[in-house]
Copies of this chain bind each other. A is one copy, B any other.
Amino acid sequence: MRAGLMMLALAAASAASVAAAGPLRAGAEAVRDRALHDPTAYDYVESVSVEVGQRLAGTEAAARARDWALAKLTQLGFTNVHVEPFPITAWIRGPEDAEIVSPHRQQLAIIGLGGSVPTPPQGLEGEIALFHTYADLLAAPPGSLAGKIAVVTQPMPRTQDGSGYGYLNPARRAGPSEAARRGAIAYLVRSLATGLSREPHTGALNYQADAPKIPAAALSTIDAELIDHLAARGRTIRIRLRLASETRAATAWTVEGEIRGTQDPDEIVQVGGHLDSWDPGTGSIDDGAGMAIAVAAARLAGTQAPPRRTIRVALFGAEEMDFARAAFAAAHKGDDFVVIGESDIGADRAWRVALPAGSRQTPEMADYAAVVAPLGVEVSPEASRGSGDDTADLVRAGVPAFAVSQDASRYFDWHHSSEDTLDKVDPAQLNQAVATWAAFVYIAANSDIDFRRLAASVAAPQPRRP
């Protein structure tokens, strides 16, 4: 990787190389090569990790994060830096613990799922019903879990594209209500995490309206395997679980800034990340790094030359509990978005990009493919289907999306856990991701490429033959 990056900066200056260059290619290459040596992204994620730390939406830390972001975007030269407040229901974690009480006492490493109701103050205790897969829980008949603590220990596949997380996400999101509907009094799920660790990984749940709300937590992967081993002895297992939390009405803030377009200022190329984080770590990879990549990319693209279109960065204020998406879409439904992207998959290298439908064969995107090829980045043959949770409502409403796949092989070792900290950020990989984003933003903001029209042309029905 490092040799490749070094080669690249040299090669860009090559007099002996032969290149077919569209009008924006040289500029995009220059942006790319500056990105590889630019300190902005690492400084950003270092700053938010050290000076703010965890910043769960609705906590006092979220207000500090807001003020930090306003100052940071201003300091980095963005204009029209402002805050968009929106109401949320904040969920605040209290003391939590759990242990196996039978066949013998053993402390368990657990963490409450975001949105979980608390247990009674003294906790609750029950025999477990163990499911090695989430599908097995879904196949359990109504009433079969009465009085029990349902435990799902299915491991999450380790994948470069992060698909293992999506594959198992229903076990965390919907599992509590599915267990409750079958009579369970509480729910424990193996952390949606790769690797083996005693650190449990949190994340939001979604209670369903027709099921009782039961307390729900994630087990560390090691504790989940311990339960599997113990159950294999055929012994009855009883667990005691105590979760405290409170909810309250609160305000969250999305922070925005822009580099205003010189020719078509109302046309907006938007990139971003989310400002909020889960509470156990310092939110360095989720989503300190993601924000850092988007902010650095926007700045590099926008300072290479005054952009034709406006480049906007949006730092969403409540991604983890799913509140920012609708608020942002409502506040910006009149905007003229050229393309939108959110960077929310950690700090590691980009390996694939997915372009808006119908655009891959355009001269602009062919140039883009050539600019990122030396970074070891491929262009997906499939069009992008979205780019981050916070932009999903806008994408559903027709805004074209640009997506970067960063290597997620390590990401879920630390995501949503106390291990989400600055030491996980590799500056060289971070800057390779910045370069991948920045070259795209530069081309999108300095061309007249019309992704909406291109998408419409491929979605339109084929004309009939005469």
Q: Which residues of A come within 8 Å of B, CB atoms?
A: 3-4, 7, 10-11, 13-20, 128-140, 144, 153-161, 163-164, 167-168, 196, 225, 228-229, 231-232, 234-237, 351-352, 366, 369-370, 373-374, 376-380, 409
B370 engages A155 (CB within 8 Å): no
The smallest beta-carbon distance between A172 and chain B, in angstroms, is 15
Q: Report if A140-B20 is in contact (Cβ < 8 Å); known contacts: A163-B352, A351-B157.
A: yes
A-B contact pairs, 22 of them (CB 8 A): A4-B155, A14-B232, A16-B130, A16-B236, A17-B231, A18-B129, A18-B130, A18-B137, A18-B140, A19-B131, A20-B135, A20-B136, A20-B140, A132-B374, A133-B369, A133-B373, A157-B376, A158-B351, A159-B352, A163-B352, A164-B351, A164-B378
Q: A4: nearest residue on chain B (CB-CB)?
A: B155
Most chain B beta-carbon neighbours within 10 Å: one of A137, A236, A376: A376
A228 engages B10 (CB within 8 Å): yes
The smallest beta-carbon distance between A150 and chain B, in angstroms, is 9
Q: Report if A11-B232 is in contact (Cβ < 8 Å); known contacts: A16-B130, A18-B136, A132-B19.
A: yes
A159 CA to B128 CA, complexed, in Å? 40
A159 engages B378 (CB within 8 Å): yes
The smallest beta-carbon distance between A143 and chain B, in angstroms, is 13
The smallest beta-carbon distance between A194 and chain B, in angstroms, is 8
A160 CA to B370 CA, complexed, in Å? 22
B376 engages A135 (CB within 8 Å): no
List the B side residues contacting A128 at CB < 8 Å: 16
Q: Report if A132-B4 is in contact (Cβ < 8 Å); known contacts: A154-B373, A376-B158.
A: no
A132 CA to B374 CA, complexed, in Å? 7
Q: Which 8 A-B pairs have the closest CB atoms?
A: A20-B139, A160-B160, A10-B232, A15-B234, A16-B231, A167-B378, A133-B373, A14-B232
A17 engages B225 (CB within 8 Å): no
B130 engages A14 (CB within 8 Å): yes
A237 CA to B231 CA, complexed, in Å? 68
A379 CA to B157 CA, complexed, in Å? 10
List the B side residues contacting A374 at CB < 8 Å: 132-133, 154-155
A155 CA to B377 CA, complexed, in Å? 9
List the B side residues contacting A366 at CB < 8 Å: 135
A17 CA to B234 CA, complexed, in Å? 9
- Known contacts A14-B231, A135-B370, then 8 further A-B pairs from the complex at CB < 8 Å, ordered by chain A residue: A4-B155, A14-B132, A16-B232, A17-B231, A135-B366, A157-B376, A157-B378, A160-B409
